[in-house]
Chains A and B, each alone.
Chain A
Amino acid sequence: EPEVTQTPSHQVTQMGQEVILRCVPISNHLYFYWYRQILGQKVEFLVSFYNNEISEKSEIFDDQFSVERPDGSNFTLKIRSTKLEDSAMYFCASSERQGSYEQYFGPGTRLTVT
Chain B
Amino acid sequence: AQKITQTQPGMFVQEKEAVTLDCTYDTSDQSYGLFWYKQPSSGEMIFLIYQGSYDEQNATEGRYSLNFQKARKSTNLVISASQLGDSAMYFCAMREPSDPSGGSYIPTFGRGTSLIVHP
Q: Give me the interface of A with B, judged by CB distance under 8 Å.
A: 41-45, 48, 55-56, 58, 89, 91, 93, 98-99, 101-108, 110
Contacts and interface: CB of A to CB of B under 8 A. Distances in A.
Nearest to B50: A101
Given A42-B91, A107-B42, A107-B44, A56 B110 contact: no
A104 B104 contact: no
A41 B95 contact: no
B35 A101 contact: yes
21 contacts: A42-B91, A42-B110, A42-B111, A43-B91, A56-B98, A56-B104, A56-B105, A98-B105, A99-B33, A99-B95, A101-B33, A103-B47, A105-B45, A105-B47, A106-B44, A107-B42, A107-B43, A107-B44, A108-B43, A108-B44, A108-B45
Contacts, number: 57
Contacts of B35: 101
A41 B112 CA distance: 8
Interface residues of B, number: 24
Interface of B: 33, 35, 37, 42-47, 50, 52, 91, 93, 95, 98, 104-112
Contacts of B107: 45, 103
B106 A45 contact: yes
Contacts of B112: 42
Given A43-B37, A107-B43, A108-B43, 4 more contacts: A42-B110, A55-B104, A56-B106, A91-B45
B109 A42 contact: yes
A101 B95 contact: yes
Nearest to A110: B43
B114 to A, nearest CB: 10
